[in-house]
Structure 1
Amino acid sequence: MIIYLHGFASAGFGAKAQKFLEYFEEEIITPTLPTIPNLAIATLEQLIEAFLNRDIKVSLIGSSLGGYYALYLANKYDLKAVLINPAVNPCITLDENREYEDDFVINYYDRSRFEFNQSHINSLKNYEVGFIKKPENFLTLLQEGDEVLDYEEAASKLEETNLHIEEGGNHSFVAIEKYFRKVDTFLNS
């Protein structure tokens, strides 16, 4: 089973998640994660453990903040993961790019508001990966045109992984579908 982990202020029903659903069909789930990092990780750990306890192979695909979560979880559970323009320093990035007032953020999918404050940002430190146990378990896809995250930071941290850097693009990763076969092959190898 593949679990797709969406990015910050997004949802499991976003455009990228839908593209993955169309390609992988019943092999993937795209849950909408809680906005509180500790709850998102707890939810994902429960899902992963439920599948593993049933002897179901689990793989992860994470985009942006979902990539940060996927890195942590794949490292913890020895899973394969695909990281798409992953956040590697979200405590800094989310703090520096705070374009929201009164600790409220607008969800990109449904335009709802949710609270995201400094304690949430600080809690992300609990999931920082200092050492990647098996770099071969990771396929990292970066686009240089990412306007939200510095692709060079991700490239540096994830240089030992199966790293692909593409010119242009943006944070949402333009034309991700051209990598679906590569993702499928990687996750099933």
Structure 2
Amino acid sequence: MRPLLLIYLHGFASSGQAHKAELLRAWCAQHQLAFIAPSLPIQPQLALSSVQETLTALLPFYRVGLVGASLGGFYARYLAQQAQLPCVLINPVVNPAQRLQEAIGSVTHYHDQLRFSWTQEHCQSLAAYRVEKASVPCRLLLQTGDEVLDYRQAQLAYPEAELCLEEGGDHGFAGFERHIPTLVAFLDQHAADQEG
């Protein structure tokens, strides 16, 4: 059986050095598990095509599980259905084309503090990507205290997902490190099922 590889996709204006990415990276290093967390381009079509190219290159050698947070959760779910991969979504945005309208303008990147322009065209390009229900194994990590997104939207959008719903918390998913072993076990099991 091919080894498991976890790919983490970060949220809007974040990077591959996001806090959850670093927690996953450290856990995977400790357990000798392959892991990558690319810093994605701002443009949605470039972000998705870059991950699709990575998947094309790595799928012959690895069983892949996708983990995505916020906008990265939407990306992970879309890419999972395209490549038939299991995924874990952490406080994901459900309708980014609409939700990110309010970000239009000059945005500060969380990690390097550089500014970039987010445009109506970026939002429109997100509308081209559709997510279907019940097509791939999916685990949903939600916290009711998410101050950025209404957790109920993701709960309604992914009724087929294995749900972990916690009271309180925040958009960054407080206490994420507690969920890493379960998250990895879910991806490992379903990636093995799909290979077999």
TM-score band w.r.t. shorter chain = over 0.9
User: Percent identical across equivalent pairs?
Assistant: 41
> Could you tell me which residue of structure 2 aligns to residue 149 of structure 1?
149
* 1:40 and 2:42 matched: no
* 1:124 and 2:126 matched: yes
| Number of aligned residues | 182
Q: State TM-score, norm by structure 2.
A: 0.89
| Mapped contact 2:73–2:91 kept (Cα < 8 A) | yes
Rounded Cα–Cα distance in structure 2 between residues aligned with 1:171 and 1:128:
23
Deviation at 1:2, TM superposition (A): 1.0
| Mapped contact 1:105–1:115 kept (Cα < 8 A) | yes
Q: 2:16 aligned to 12, 19, 23, which one?
A: 12
Any stretches of 5+ residues in structure 2 without a counterpart? Answer: 190-196
| Paired AA for residue 33 in structure 1 | L
Deviation at 1:37, TM superposition (A): 0.2
| Paired AA for residue 141 in structure 2 | L
Q: Deviations for 1:98-120, whole angstroms, at most 9, x for unmatched residues?
A: 3x6xx221001111111210000
Rounded Cα–Cα distance in structure 2 between residues aligned with 1:57 and 1:184:
12
Deviation at 1:86, TM superposition (A): 0.5
Q: CA RMSD in A?
A: 1.1
Any stretches of 5+ residues in structure 1 without a counterpart? Answer: none
> Could you tell me which residue of structure 1 aligns to residue 108 of structure 2?
106
Runs of 4 or more, structure 1, over 4 Å off, are: none
| Mapped contact 1:10–1:108 kept (Cα < 8 A) | yes
* 1:23 and 2:41 matched: no
Q: State TM-score, norm by structure 1.
A: 0.93
Rounded Cα–Cα distance in structure 2 between residues aligned with 1:89 and 1:148:
13
Rounded Cα–Cα distance in structure 1 between residues aligned with 2:62 and 2:82:
17
Rounded Cα–Cα distance in structure 1 between residues aligned with 2:96 and 2:167:
23
Deviation at 1:163, TM superposition (A): 1.0
Rounded Cα–Cα distance in structure 2 between residues aligned with 1:157 and 1:27:
30
Rounded Cα–Cα distance in structure 2 between residues aligned with 1:37 and 1:139:
23
> Could you tell me which residue of structure 1 aligns to residue 192 of structure 2?
none
| Mapped contact 2:68–2:88 kept (Cα < 8 A) | yes
